[in-house]
Amino acid sequence: MKNKLVLIFLFFAILSYGQEKRKGINGKILFDKTVISDVHILNINTNQGTITNDKGSFKILVIIGDVLQFTHLNFKGKQLIITKENFTKNSLELQLKENTYALDEFTLEKPRSIFYVDPQMVRPTIVNAKTLNLPYANTSVKKDYSVVKFRSGANVSLDNLIYSLNGTNKRRKELNKITQEDSVLSSIRKHFTDDFFITDLRIKKEDINPFLNYCVKKNILSYFKKNENILLTKILMNQSRTFPQKVNSDSIIVSKE
């Protein structure tokens, strides 16, 4: 019993002796001259710790040879051994390095619909007239080369022209020719204005286009392109005297000198 009491006494004596030797030292944690708060400081030898305040300061009990461990979520951890120098100064200052996290490479992709089906898993179904077995699925549509003529306002198909030439290319050339003529006739009408045709030439408004077509045979297109407006005006005035008030539109469309 006496031996046990001696051992207990010695244990507390050593412990009290060790506590007397340790003393509290002050410290500050910085990052590039900026104080760091919430840094955890642990004395590994005593398993006692503390944390830095808003000013980056802390105080902890140490003795020479103790190891302090500093940890923070945003900074790299660090350990410091208490030396005779900083134990004597009763203070220490520590710089921490910023912690960086390497992220795995990733590629941004267009968000997919909840109905998206991976084509590698399911072949896409082709939907068209053939797959649906619709009538006339194999019928090719013939291109429409018709044009709305300025001269009469009617839709004219080159395939139906009385004097159309044989061959698709020749019909297309004829189409281009008619389109160019109509463009010039439209410019002539804008140049002289409707008032000139109605008031001076006594042509009804609805007959102005047929009248200009009636004058094509007098080379009014060529005179207008050459800016020979005086001669063009004279031709229009002369033609207005012989122009019939009622004109057969079909004959105007295909009329050609």
Contact between 9 and 16 (Cβ < 8 Å): no
Task: Report if residue 237 sits inside a domain.
Answer: yes
Task: Report if residue 194 sits inside a domain.
Answer: yes
Contact between 137 and 129 (Cβ < 8 Å): yes
The pLDDT assigned to 251 comes to 41
The pLDDT assigned to 223 comes to 92
Range of the structural domain that residue 176 is part of? 147-254
Q: How many CB atoms lie within 10 A of CB 57?
A: 14
Start-to-end Cα distance in the chain: 146
CA 251 to chain centre: 55
Task: Report if residue 120 sits inside a domain.
Answer: no
Residue-wise pLDDT for 39-81, tens only, equals 999 999 999 999 999 999 999 999 999 999 999 988 999 999 9
CA 200 to chain centre: 58
Residue-wise pLDDT for 145-154, tens only, equals 555 555 444 4
Are residues 78 and 156 located together in one domain of the fold? Answer: no
Last residue of a domain, one of 95, 110, 135: 95
Are residues 152 and 248 located together in one domain of the fold? Answer: yes
Q: What are the residues facing 93 on neighbouring strands? A: 28
Report the CATH number that the domain containing residue 54 is assigned in CATH.
2.60.40.10
The pLDDT assigned to 253 comes to 43
Can you give the length of the chain in residues?
257
